[in-house]
Structures are given as C-alpha cells and as structure tokens.
Structure 1
Amino acid sequence: MTAVLFTCAGQRVDIVSAFGRAGATTVATDLDPLAPALYHADRRALVPPVSDPGYVAALAALVAEHDVRLVVPLTDLDQEIVSAAREALEPALVLAPTPNVCRTMGDKYLAHAFFSEHGIPSPRTWLPDDVPGDARYPLLVKVREGFGSRHIYRADDPDELDFHLRSTPVESMVQERCLGEEFSIDVFCDVGGRCLNAIPRSMIQSKGGESIKGRSLADGELVEHGASVAETVGIVGPANVQCFREPDGSLPVTDVNPRFGGAFPLPLAAGSRYPELALALARGERPEPRLGEFREGIVMTRFFSDLCLVEDGNGGLVPFAEELPHPIAVEPGEA
C-alpha cells in the first residue's frame, strides 16, 4: 500500500478518507491536536507551525518513518514551502506545482497578470492607485493573498471604493465584477502538466468562499477551458479553476487554486478517481487523459459533522468508541 502524507490536514476528512478507500496508507499531520482529519487517518502526527524553521525537517522525518511515497498539501498555508522542499522530502512525490506557480496563483494580482500575459481571459484588475475613470461599477476590493472570501468588499461608486481601500487592513487589488454565471472546474494534471480530467460544476450556494451546494455539468466548453487553463498555468496534481460565463460568451478566470477544492466530494462522486490517479503518479505510472469522462447531474449538498475524543491515558486523544465512563453527570437541579 502506498503511504500518503497529508500536510495541514485540518478538517479535510473527505480527502484523507477518500485516499484511504483508494488503497493508501494515510498519514495526517497538523499543528492542532483537535484537527478532525488526524483521527480519520491510519497514522497521525503533530508538527510545528508552517513558519517554524523545523517544519520541513519534521515532514521529512515522517516520510522516512512511514516510507511515504506521496505528499499532499491540503491548504494554501504551506503549499509553496512543501513544493520548494521536494529534495528534502524524497523519495516521496510532492503533489504540487513549482514554487513559482504556487506563489503566482496565491497572489491574485500576480495571477491576473499571468492570465493576461498568457491569453487567459480575466476580469479587468488594477492596483489601488491605478483604477481608471472608465472602470465599470460595481467594483470589488479583494485581498491579494487570502482565502475563504475574507476581505472582499463591493463598491458601487468611487466614494465607496475610496472608503474600502482606506479601511481594508490587507494589501488589496480592485477588480471589475463579472456579470455572468459562476462555475468551478476541478482539474487534475500529471507530473508533466498534462490535464488528465476536468470536471465542471455549478455554484448553487457558497459559504465563506467554499461551495456547499453544486451540480456536475457535462459542458464541453468548460471542460476544454479548465484543461487549457491548467496546462497553461503549469498545474501538477489537483487544482480548482474558478470562472464566469459572461453575456458575451467569454469565460474570464478569477482564481486558480492549485490544490484540491473545498467541494472535493462532488467531483469524487462524479467519478473523478483523483485519489487513484494521484497514487498512480506516486508509483511512477503515466495515466492517460480521460477528459469528459465523469457523471453529469451529480448534486452535492455539504453539512457539518462531528467527532468526539477521549484521553488515551498517555497524554493523547483517541476517537470515543466506548460506553460512557461512570459516574455520568446528573441532570441540572438533581442531587
């Protein structure tokens, strides 16, 4: 069985569990001992913060200890760090693009500049001091580096734009608001950057920047667009391409997140087999592209779940799976 190390595992129980079902031995890491994904993996380990000088060394030690063959960063927090540490993490394959791609896609203004330079349609975007007089309102003030739809503000006129630019606590850019319907395309590329599949989905509802309801779409134009964008950017492994279909038929791209998306369960249910493809890459195989091979009309609706833990007697925590210990608390007001 191929051992897979997940960094910043957090709440990504869906991804860790899917790799387990695909035949991997899962090793989850996080800073937080209460990160739920830790307790859905075959093995778990606490590691230093991503900013700690010993972070990569801690991951490398786990690679050696568990004979890890694939490293999968699950968030933007450490993706560039892990990508730059490929040699230190050998013989494991790091499922991420180059550090430069991670850095460029992580900065939304640099990403826009890349899109424009490489012929990928993108909404008109400016730095705060460069907004022209003919900008089409409403405009969006957006954080350059961030996630979860934090620090995004709508300005309906120049006065509101000035207010938001003065008030925002983060480095920002200004972007014209798209007028059409929004879509996400979950793609997966091999180590050479070939797109193996691209699965579009509608954005029925989002919360905190993550899609919680959506439907897989058999839309050939979006499939081809997602694959083309992924290959132009230089994606290795998973990515999520976010775009709009405008009234004029164009497909401007707003974001490319080079990792598994928040709505991972939807393309998985649609038949993406992305965990199996990742494991094949870790074994040195070269899967053939299967663009457009997935189930359309799969509807996802996400919900909160939970995990209860108890102390194991050795200073650690384990999933609660026994009868309640005695004595149990009495009802309020009872003796």
Structure 2
Amino acid sequence: MKLLITAIGKRVQLIKYLKKNCTIVGVDAGDSAPAANFVNKFYKVPRFNDQNYMDYLLNICKKESIDLLIPLHEYEFDILCENRSKLKKIGTTLMLSHKKIIDICQNKLNTYRFFMENDIGSPRSYSENKILEVLENPNSEDNVKKFLEKEFKMRFPLIVKPINGMGSEGVFKVRNVKELKFFIDYIENPIIQQYIGGTEYTIDVLCDLKGDAISIVPRERLEVRSGEVSKTRTVMHKEIIEETYRLIKALTKSVSNEEKVSVIGPYTIQCKVTEDNKIKFIEINPRFGGGVPLTFESGVDYGKYFNMMVDGEKIEPIIGQFKEMTMLRYDDAIFIG
C-alpha cells in the first residue's frame, strides 16, 4: 500500500514506523526536510496557499498510485477537504475527517462550544471581544480582576492563544492585567481561556473510515521543548480512555448519517487531570502528534490498520491494549556530502 504524507519536515520517527507496512511518498515545501531522506520517494511541492498546490498533489497521487493521503499540517486541511472528491476519483482516500469536524477542531471557540454542548469538561474560553470592553475602560487592576471573576468566573493566571492556532504555537500564560492587554493586542484573533493546573496528557487516537475508534492511548507529558514533547510516557488511565471514547462518539454525531465521511484517521487530543481528579479537555487536533512514535512502540501499529482500511477488512478495536512505556527524545543529525 502507498501512503502520501504531506509536510514531512522532521517527522523521521513517524516515517520509519509507517515504512514497516507501507511505501511512503513524502512531500514538503522545503527541499532540505530531514524526513525526505527516509521516505521511499520525495517530491518538493509549493506551499499550501499556492494556487498550484492542489494540482501538484493530484498529479503525484495519480503518478504514484497513492492509496491514502495523510496531511500533517493543519493549514492545508481546508483545501484538502474541498478536493476530497477529486482525490477519490483517482483512487486516493483522504485520511482526514469531515469538514464540519475540522471546523470544530481548528476553531478553539467552536471546540469549547462542542465540549459544552456534550457535557465534556473543559476550561472556560471566550473571544477577546467579550473581555476587551472592560479592559478599555480606565478601571483599576483590582476592578478588572473582580469583573473577570464575577462575569466570566475566571481569575489569573489566564491563557491567551490564537483562535486557529496549531499545537502550542503562540500560547501564552498571563499573570496580570498588563500582560493580558499586551497579548490580546499581540496575538491575531486571540481567545482567553481559564488556566487549569494539574497533570497534562496527550491522547493518541486512531479511528477507522466509519468513525469508530480503534485505539486510544493516553500519554503523560513529562517535558516539552519548543512546543513538542521531549519526554513522555504512556499511561493506562481508564477514566481518560472512557472520556475520550465518549468525545469521539460525540464528534461522530456532529455529522449527519447521510454524510459518507465522519471522524477518520489519527487524532491528537489534549487534556489535563486536576488535583481533584477532574478531566478537562483542551484541544482536539485531527492529525498525528509529535509524540506518536511512543504509541507505535507501545503496540499500536498504525500502518497495519491503514492497510486493513484500504483493503476493506473488519478491524477489531484494541482500546486499552498497549504497553506502558517512557520515551526520552534526543537530537540526531543527517550528514549530506
């Protein structure tokens, strides 16, 4: 089976694991992507916002007889969803959820509304418009704090981040009114979110082409460097697994039965477990996360299941079936003469 993976960048470990079961064609807008040295075939393509980007991908998929296309960069999701039918016509399945679900995941306020509508624990989130009015008035810092607590049930520290941000890019923890004003102005289209303390987890999820969860693996984030996890361990956390399963079911129901595409492929979901053991979900990302190699190593063979999906084989879920392991990452290099 042939996989085309976009924006491969530095995703060397991911490529190595998938190559065990699949032939990998990788594309990237840069010609010096480290992962280009590990795929079976590499193509340099325009950036996702170039008018010729989709034509390049379609031609590559046709030329290489690609079975599955897996995008790694969120900013290209919209154009790929728009061209799903064109990909299907040449025999390529887009391993990406329905556009309605992408809209829930990518817009952080939509994500928060989804959590609230489905009784899923989450930190309170608001657009800057709701809070700007009080900040623009010449109130004292104490009055602003009282207003935030009374009207929004939020107190410092707070989180300010882009409404359409990718991963932890542009996420700031603010401790006072001065910092809040600065980052609301600094970040384009920000949202303000209640800060939740506790232990942070990433959950790697794999769904089949019908929207059913195959695997759910929680990972405790032990150390993060430049927005990507550097130390992490898989944890058999029953409550997180159960709540994540319920979340996936709720996402599936957000698309009508008439739609043929639902929740499919890899997901990376963020949550925190508070000191009083409450689970608070923060983000839903419909793509592979940077720490997913640990989930491969813990026993979830994504490549095997991708093959089964393409062949139309029945897949039995393996939820809760993985080894508890720790991953410690380090830098490596490629030397090109």
Contact 1:3 1:68 in 2 (8 A): yes
| In the alignment, structure 1 residue 305 sits paired with structure 2 residue 332 | yes
User: What residue is the counterpart of 1:15 in the other structure?
Assistant: 14
Residue 194 of structure 1 pairs with residue 188 of structure 2: no
Q: Is the 8 A contact 2:270 2:282 kept in 1?
A: yes
Residue 289 of structure 2 corresponds to residue 261 of structure 1: yes
Q: How far, CA to CA, are the matches of 2:167 and 2:266 in structure 1?
A: 18
Residue 180 in 1 paired to residue 207 in 2?
Answer: no
Alignment of 1:249-328 (within 5 A): 249-296=277-324, 298-310=325-337
CA deviations on 1:16-70 (whole Å, 9 max, x unpaired) are 2211112x11100111110111221111111111112221121111111111111
1:4 alignment partner AA: L
User: Aligned partners of 1:44, 1:118: CA distance in 2, in Å?
Assistant: 42
Equivalent position of 2:129 in the other structure: 129
Provide, for residues 217-272 of structure 1, a one-character-per-residue CA deviation record: whole Å limited to 9, x for no partner: 11111111222222322431100111011234321111111111110111011001
- Mean alpha-carbon deviation: is it higher for 30-39 or for 109-118? 109-118
Aligned-partner residue type, residue 164 of structure 1: F
Which runs of 5 or more structure 2 residues have no equivalent in the other structure? 132-146, 253-262
Structure 1 counterpart of 2:298, one-letter code = A
Distance 1:293 1:77 in 2: 33
Q: How does 1:176-255 map to 2 (within 5 A)?
A: 176-234=194-252, 235-255=263-283
Residue aligning to 1:65: 63
In structure 1, the partner of 2:42 is 44
| One-letter identity of the residue aligned with 1:25 | T
Identity of matched residues, %: 27
Partner of 1:149: 168
Preserved CA contact (<8 Å) 2:157 2:173: yes
Change (3 A) 1:239 1:148: closer
TM-score for both structures, normalised by structure 2: 0.86
Greater share of helix: 2
Amino acid at match of 1:303: Y
Aligned residue in 2 for 1:326: none
Aligned length: 306
Displacement over 6 Å in runs of 4+: none
Q: Secondary structure at the match of 1:87?
A: helix
Which residue is equivalent to 2:139?
none
Counterpart CA distance in 2 for 1:201 and 1:133 is: 33
Between 1:228-237 and 1:62-71, the stretch displaced more is: 228-237
The residue number in structure 1 matching 2:117 is 117
Who is 1:332 aligned against? Answer: none
- SS of structure 1 residue aligned to 2:275: coil
Distance 1:243 1:175 in 2: 14
Q: Distance in 1 between matches of 2:76 and 2:312?
A: 24
25-34 or 110-119, which deviates more: 110-119
Contact 2:161 2:187 in 1 (8 A): no
Question: 1-side partners of 2:65 and 2:173: how far apart?
Answer: 49
Deviation at residue 100 of structure 1 after TM alignment:
2.4
Show the counterpart of 1:89.
Answer: 87
Deviation at 1:308, TM superposition (A): 2.3
Mapped partners of 2:74, 2:274: distance in 1: 28
**Quick one: which amino acid aligns to residue 323 of structure 2?**
R
Q: What is the CA-CA distance between 1:148 and the residue it aligns to? A: 4.6
> How many angstroms apart in 2 are the aligned matches of 1:59 and 1:208?
30
Instruction: Kindly indicate whether residue 27 of structure 2 is the aligned counterpart of residue 29 of structure 1.
Output: yes
User: 1:139 aligns to what?
Assistant: 158
Secondary structure, in 3 states, of the residue corresponding to 1:151? coil
